Amino acid sequence: MKIATQFIVRFSLLLLLFAPLCGVRAQQQTDVPRRGEGITTFLQRHGRSPKLYYDDFVELNRKKLRGSKELRLGVSYIVPPLKDASSTSASKKKNSRRGKSVREPLLGKRFRDVAVTSDRLAGTCFYLVSGHGGPDPGAIGRVGRHELHEDEYAYDIILRLARYLLSEGAEVRIIIQDAKDGIRGDAYLSNSKRETCMGDPIPLNQVARLQQRCDKINTLYAKDRKRYKYCRALFVHVDSQGRGKQMDVYFYHAAGSGKGERLADALRSTFKAKYGIHQPGRGFTGTVSERGLYVLNHTTPVAVFVELGNIQNQSDLRRLVQPDNREALAKWLKDGIAKDYVSNK
């Protein structure tokens, strides 16, 4: 009798020990697709709206898809877990700042207090990275006696974008920072080497420099992902090509990143629509493509890399040196981000 009792006790302890593991496994539902079934019909069969769950499915099964969006017979795929609508609503309400004012000193004295006029981006978090900085000016252009540095113009546009995102209730992390330069209204921006990576000196070595900003983003994201349902990183650069090469804005995403491609598409379609309004008949040739860029491959949250134009081309320079154009670029980037976010809800 005593032996039987001991056996029951030990067996009960084993059940308690393995019960959490069983619970975790039970939460991850998998299934094999039926013949002729694609991602959309697979999701519909499991009661998931393709509009809400398509990107989640691609992210969860990225290794099995291997860049392809076609399902293979005999392969078991993870079914995205159902989203809790009530908790999503509560989270948005909790993160609401509408009617308040938030202060971001990096925007400069004139713009540091931002009135939050909308909740459209409540519950979102963005990591904004202007290219180069510190000892590395990036691409260099010239207009008369003025030397134009890529890092200064990318930074000014990032700050303007941050202001727009904050005004719509988003949380913003400005990764590359200059404690002195806020949003500037000059055509020819003064150059400096003051920029830091959130307070840390920026290394001269290229790989170390890029890894530093990726590490900073990934560390922040590890905490932010628990609080915000939509986190995105945006890298803004200016290209350097031959003087005769005029370029529209280009968007890059990491290979196999369905959500990255979706954000890039939203940005491109927004820019194309804006060009159609403000420069009818001109057309827009900017594209979306995969690129094996270091920051895209080493950043954990969904990321998009933006090239704003050719700093050597005089026509493209108007996009950068005119403050109103920098403002428009920032606003269009915000509109594209908002378009992607709303479509993901």
Q: What pLDDT score was predicted for residue 19? A: 43
Range with lowest mean pLDDT among 14-28, 116-130, 310-324: 14-28
Position with higher pLDDT, 337 vs 18: 337
Q: How far apart are the first and last CA of the chain?
A: 60
Closest CA to 106 of 180, 194, 56, 46: 180
Residue 299: which pLDDT band, with cuts at 50, 70 and 90?
A: very high
Q: What pLDDT score was predicted for residue 28? A: 80
Average pLDDT over every residue of 136-150: 93
pLDDT of 197 over the 70 cut:
yes
Q: What pLDDT score was predicted for residue 264? A: 97
- Over residues 254-269, the pLDDT tens digits come to 999 999 999 999 999 9
Range with lowest mean pLDDT among 97-106, 119-128, 206-215, 291-300: 97-106
Q: What pLDDT score was predicted for residue 302? A: 97
Range with lowest mean pLDDT among 54-63, 168-177, 213-222, 330-339: 54-63
Range with lowest mean pLDDT among 46-50, 101-105, 248-252, 318-322: 46-50
Q: What pLDDT score was predicted for residue 84? A: 65
Q: What pLDDT score was predicted for residue 281? A: 74
Q: What pLDDT score was predicted for residue 170? A: 96
Report field, pTM of the whole predicted structure over 0.75: no
Enclosing H/E stretch for 305? strand 302-310
What six digits make up the tokens of 319?
């996009």
pLDDT of 91 over the 70 cut:
no
Distance CA 308, CA 296 (A): 17
Q: What pLDDT score was predicted for residue 42? A: 86
Residue 225: which pLDDT band, with cuts at 50, 70 and 90?
A: very high
What six digits make up the tokens of 206?
């290229």
Q: What pLDDT score was predicted for residue 343? A: 87
- Over residues 172-186, the pLDDT tens digits come to 999 999 999 999 999
Which domains, ranges and CATH numbers included, belong to the chain? 2-78 (no CATH), 96-344 (3.40.630.40)
Closest CA to 303 of 312, 311, 294: 294
Q: What pLDDT score was predicted for residue 86? A: 52
Put residue 47 in one of left, alpha, beta given phi > 0 → left and psi -120 to 50 → alpha: left
